[in-house]
Amino acid sequence: MAGLGSLVVLPNCVRYVQVGCYSFFILFYLAMFQETSAATTLDQAALALGESTACDTSRRQFINHAGRGLLAAGIATALPLAAAEAADLGNEAALAPPTGPLDIKLPPLEAPTEPKAGPFPNPDAPDQRVGFAIVGLGHLTLAEILPAFGQAKHCKPVALVSGDPDKMAKAAKQYGIKPSSCYSYQNYDKLKDNPEVQVIYIVLPNSMHHEYTIRGAKAGKHILCEKPMANSVKECEEMIAACNKAGKKLMIAYRIQYEPLNRAAQKMVRDKTYGKTKLIQMMNCQNQAHDQQWRHKKALAGGGSLPDVGLYCLNTTRFLLGEEPTEVSAQIYSTPGDDRFKEIEENVSFTLRFPSGVIAQCMTGYGSFNNKSYAVHAETGTIKMDPAFPYKGLKQELVHAPNGKQMIEQPSNPDKQQFALEMDHMAECVRSNKTPYTPGEEGLQDQRIMEAIYQSAKENKPVKLTVGVGKTDAFRGTPPTEEEAA
């Protein structure tokens, strides 16, 4: 028996009936003789909800099953509740669709002294997200980028481009992409006729970035391009010019600049949390498979370990400091007789000098065991990231000695999906007409410095650099907001 003020859930004909103990007993007797009246009243409640009275048969079955009195007892309150609900439904239908994040907030479950879990994702409704076309269905796209849309807030995959129709058909089914939105490299330009596509994400071998960025811009789409930007300074400049001419945005996918722990490291460096930065050590090495993958072909890759993984050392150093180097010196070595390095370099060691006096020592390689780490050595402490560059599982250590006692702190890792963060930033830049934090000019500067690294190693002497020197974040655009990084 329902208690005073409780709710009983009925079939669709009546949504809610509030039952009071006293009303139940009084109306039970009356209902025995008033089935017809009760049924009529129930029809009125159904009509108030905008429902058909065609549920009359199930209603009468319910009366016989549950007791006529129970039904009648709630009619008096069912009608006003039904009318109120109908009014609410009408109001909801009249509401304009939301234009920003659907901010849902709940009271915290933990005491203020407990670690904070962070806000809810609060993603945009699907029809409000920026549509992306993904060009290239290799390991990075299938293992990281397409799955990342599941954690993205502001973007969605709406088209694919691939030279493998069978693989593309499977991926399209997996991610709900229409067959009509699947393209080959030959009909790639037809993306211009797809209004769902606002951004093209180019995930192709390095030598193809130039062509597909220019074609994509001519198709009237914004471009997100994987790093390295291209194989030469000239190509980078032409990509920027093409996007500027088309009035479209160009962003380079430097995911580390959007990752929370690396951004926290940048803030500590810029805020001089441990005093002035003096030295930086960067390392990004991995042991390549003995095969003929495109990364081992200079025509496709543009180089070996330097543009692929060494670029993280270069770009992250610039990102942390906000400075541009004034000089670079480098050495290159490849193991004789190793088929992987017939066309490309194996190991590169390079030193960057900055206007503030910081010296950064960077090493990268294609033939040694995995090591992706860095350390920033400042006056009163060291910021360590190990690992620093993988797609997930990053760890940070802060080593300092407050009050003369050495302490090692290990901040918790929010472990955000890095590709989701960078794609959401691009989506927000498109919607808000902002310059991306890592625009084409950022990729162009890295290409200039990499060419200087190769020159220094070839000539066995330092190479002076002048572009951007003396400016803070000379080639970066609008920083990601706290909401984008949450």
For range 452-473, the mean pLDDT? 98
Model confidence band, residue 485 (pLDDT cutoffs 50, 70, 90):
low
Picking from 50-54, 103-107, 397-401, 426-430, which range would have the lowest pLDDT averaged per residue?
50-54
Model confidence band, residue 38 (pLDDT cutoffs 50, 70, 90):
very low
CA 126 vs CA 95, 145, 154, 394: distances in Å: 17, 18, 8, 30
Secondary structure in 3-state letters for 118-151: CCCCCCCCHHHCEEEEEECCCHHHHHHHHHHHHH
How much is the pLDDT for 110? 87
Is the predicted pLDDT of residue 370 greater than 90, yes or no? yes
Of 373, 479, 377, the residue nearest 436 (C-alpha)? 479
Model confidence band, residue 395 (pLDDT cutoffs 50, 70, 90):
very high
* More reliable by pLDDT, 108 or 446: 446
Is the predicted pLDDT of residue 311 greater than 80, yes or no? yes
Asked if residues 14 and 42 have their Cβ atoms less than 8 Å apart, the reply is yes
CA 367 vs CA 286, 333, 345: distances in Å: 6, 11, 10
Is the predicted pLDDT of residue 82 greater than 50, yes or no? no
Burial of 400 per CB tally in 10 Å (0-12, 13-18, 19+): middle
How much is the pLDDT for 413? 87
Q: How many percent of the chain have pLDDT more than 70?
A: 78
Q: What positions carry a catalytic annotation?
A: 227, 312
Is the predicted pLDDT of residue 71 greater than 80, yes or no? no
How much is the pLDDT for 55? 41
Asked if residues 252 and 443 have their Cβ atoms less than 8 Å apart, the reply is yes
Is the predicted pLDDT of residue 383 greater than 90, yes or no? yes
**Reported CATH class of domain 256-414+445-466:** alpha beta
Is the predicted pLDDT of residue 406 greater than 80, yes or no? yes
Model confidence band, residue 108 (pLDDT cutoffs 50, 70, 90):
confident
Helix axes 209-218, 233-246, angle to 10 degrees: 10
pLDDT digits (tens, 9 = 90+) for 268-280: 999 999 999 999 9
Is the predicted pLDDT of residue 6 greater than 70, yes or no? no
Name, of 54-63, 84-93, 280-289, the range with top average pLDDT. Answer: 280-289
CA distance 278 to 281: 10
Structure tokens belonging to residue 147: 């799955």
Q: How many percent of the chain have pLDDT more than 90?
A: 73
- pTM to 2 decimal places: 0.80
Domain boundaries, the chain: 6-87, 126-253, 256-414+445-466
For range 412-423, the mean pLDDT? 95
For range 211-221, the mean pLDDT? 98
CA distance 130 to 249: 14
How much is the pLDDT for 297? 97
Given the candidates 3.40.50.720, 3.40.50.300, 3.20.80.10, 3.10.580.10, the CATH classification of the domain at 126-253 is 3.40.50.720
How much is the pLDDT for 337? 96
For range 153-167, the mean pLDDT? 98
Burial of 288 per CB tally in 10 Å (0-12, 13-18, 19+): buried
Is the predicted pLDDT of residue 10 greater than 50, yes or no? no
Model confidence band, residue 117 (pLDDT cutoffs 50, 70, 90):
confident
User: How does strand 359-365 pair with strand 277-287?
Assistant: parallel
For range 53-79, the mean pLDDT? 42
- CATH topology of 126-253 equal to that of 256-414+445-466? no
Asked if residues 210 and 229 have their Cβ atoms less than 8 Å apart, the reply is no
Is the predicted pLDDT of residue 388 greater than 60, yes or no? yes
* More reliable by pLDDT, 238 or 3: 238
Is the predicted pLDDT of residue 394 greater than 70, yes or no? yes
How much is the pLDDT for 354? 98
